[in-house]
Amino acid sequence: MAKKTKKQIERDEQLYQLTTLVAGEFSLQEVLDKLAEAAVKIVGVKACSIRLLDEEAGDLKMRSTYGLSEE
């Protein structure tokens, strides 16, 4: 078995935490917030935003961000 790098171990830990979060009794907002944070850490980007479709309005609504400024 090959040795895992620190980055691989951190990624695996993030994925495990997401699985636990989704399977647990958490609100949609809590799941989206953790998902945005994990996406930044796993993918290695500076920021993430999650938008969900508002079917009545026919557009996307910002539901969660991580790493973005308030501006």
pLDDT digits (tens, 9 = 90+) for 55-69: 999 999 999 999 988
What mean pLDDT comes out for the span 17-21?
A: 81
Helix, coil or strand: residue 39: helix
Is this model's pTM higher than 0.75 or not?
A: no
**In degrees, to the nearest 5, what angle opens at C-alpha 52 toward C-alphas 36 and 49?**
30
Helix 28-43 to helix 6-23 angle (10° resolution) is: 170
> Domains of the chain (ranges plus CATH)?
6-66 (3.30.450.40)
pLDDT given for residue 2 in this prediction: 66
Residue 21 has pLDDT above 80, yes or no: no
